[in-house]
Amino acid sequence: MKHTQKDLKKIFLNKLNNTKVKSMKDRGMRKMTERLHEEFDMVWIKYNNNKTTYKEWENALDKWLNAEEI
């Protein structure tokens, strides 16, 4: 099932709102979260172009948000 942009945005915002982001991170953690954020952005673009699956989109989002919580 292909999710619409509206569905993806709602899922994204719900997960983002449920994330407890910590602002004080060392340089290594900041770099890792930046890299995972960039990876997620690329996966979202690929998903919009039908070049990846929803599961891959969701996994990339979860990896990024989990790193933000550390």
pLDDT at residue 27, rounded to an integer: 80
- The residue length of the chain stands at 70
Please give the tally of structural domains in the chain. Answer: 1
20 inside domain: no
Closest CA to 43 of 31, 29, 58: 58
**Residues 1-35 pLDDT 10s:** 678 888 888 888 888 777 766 666 678 888 888 89
Containing domain of residue 63, as a range? 5-13+26-69
Residue 41 has pLDDT above 90, yes or no: yes
19 inside domain: no
pTM (2 d.p.): 0.71
54 inside domain: yes
36 inside domain: yes
Instruction: Supply the mean pLDDT for the chain.
Output: 85
21 inside domain: no
Are 39 and 67 in contact by the 8 Å Cβ rule? The answer is: no
